[in-house]
Amino acid sequence: MAMIQCTCGRSFIGDAHHTAIRCPACGTSIVVIAGDPEAVSSLRLPVVLWLMAALGAVLLPVWMRVEGTGCLEIRNQFVPIPLLSGVRAMFNPWLPAALALLLSVRAGAVNLSVWGCSALGAVVFLVLAAAGLPLAAALALAALAGGAVGALQASLCRTLHAPVWLVTAVVGVAVMNLARWPASQVAVLGPGSLDGFSDTLSRLILVILLYVGAVLGTGRARRAMERRGAAAPSSLGLLALGVGGALAAAGGSTMILASGRFAPGGWLWGDLRVVAAVLLCGGWMWRSRSTAALSCALLPVAMGVATMWMQTVGLWLPSLRGSWSLAWLIVLVAGTQWASRGRGHRVWRLVAGWAAAGGTVLAALGAYWPVSPVSIRLAILGTACWAMGMAAALVRRRLARAAVTAQRGVEVEVDANVRAS
């Protein structure tokens, strides 16, 4: 049942699954598109959750076979801990940058400077730690520098009235290149410079604290802005830029804690796990406020799945390793989510969404045969299945558009008849 409005102005409750119903007030026959084209697809939530769970279940065994059981150094002894490698993949130093991008997307502003702010935080922390400053103070000042970059971007967006993605992209590239010069002038930190933070557990706890603190703090700040009546989309987007800059810079500092060195030409330039994780957790697909907490809660799991994909899928072709493999994952996931949303009949949504999701999982199954022709066949078969889902989605959208156009034509004709009578 649904609320239906006639051209005479009368609203009444009717069955939207019928192709035609009659208004009880004027007797006009009203054409209703079967399946309610204006309804939001109910497949968004299960497709996102199913796809991420299926990819994790497929990739985890083979990834654990490659990575092995993680070990912690306790009293100068390495103690194996089950699934520690998986936890480290979930809470790796790129998680704060992914959370910064997710918060900006949820606020309606795409922050493309998270990689530049990570580089800035890494080099500030490196310079201060090499100068002998306590690590906690160096981490706080690095986060403050990233927050200052975020505030600068918010000010530029408000002053220039320019798109957020354009401002953040330009500033991010500028900050990234600016961070290269001081990094080349600073010596690598010595083994004794990171006492207290040189073990895996300390770095892991630090990333978890950054993640939990940012999620809780941002939620409280948003509720405070809503109570004061200042929670406009533009204000939330500017707040997300400032918080995101500080988060990304703190994440860059944890990278220095993990390795003790800065590599400006390699891992600090655009790790695509950030984008893949935000896509996998539904950051771009779910727009309602009720799913914001769910997206943030799923982000570490999505980061772990993206890390496992990067290290296991595409090994049959050396050029597909690393960023190219992640770019392939981004295309597959984005297409699957696009196919499962929108208007049209439910059968077409089922075919499009689940075919695309099944094709993505088929491509992931190739990780079990890393250097075998079977992996190549599964990749081709999965991509073909995904393409069939995309084709079904295009047909569904075209049919829905034609149905909406026909409905509008009937409404105009009925309105003209009513006026003539």
Higher pLDDT, 68 or 335: 335
State the first-to-last Cα distance of the chain, in angstroms, to the nearest integer: 30
How distant is the alpha carbon of residue 339 from its chain centre? 17
Higher pLDDT, 207 or 145: 145
Is pLDDT above 60 for 31?
no
Give the 3-state secondary structure of residue 78: strand
Q: Looking at residue 7, what is its pLDDT?
A: 46
Give the 3-state secondary structure of residue 22: strand
Confidence of residue 36 (pLDDT cuts 50, 70, 90): very low
Rounded to two decimals, the pTM is: 0.79
Q: 332 burial class (0-12, 13-18, 19+ CB within 10 angstroms)?
A: buried
How distant is the alpha carbon of residue 70 from its chain centre? 27
- The least confident of 35-49, 221-235, 253-267, 318-332 is 35-49
Q: What is the mean pLDDT of the chain?
A: 75
Q: Residue 7: which H helix or E strand, with range?
A: none
Confidence of residue 82 (pLDDT cuts 50, 70, 90): low
Taking only the tens place, the pLDDT of each residue in 287-310 is: 666 677 888 889 999 999 999 998
**Which of 27-36, 306-315, 396-405 tops mean pLDDT?**
306-315
Contact indicator for 193, 259 with CB cutoff of 8 Å: no
Confidence of residue 149 (pLDDT cuts 50, 70, 90): very high
Taking only the tens place, the pLDDT of each residue in 305-360 is: 999 998 888 766 655 566 778 888 999 999 888 887 765 566 666 778 788 888 99
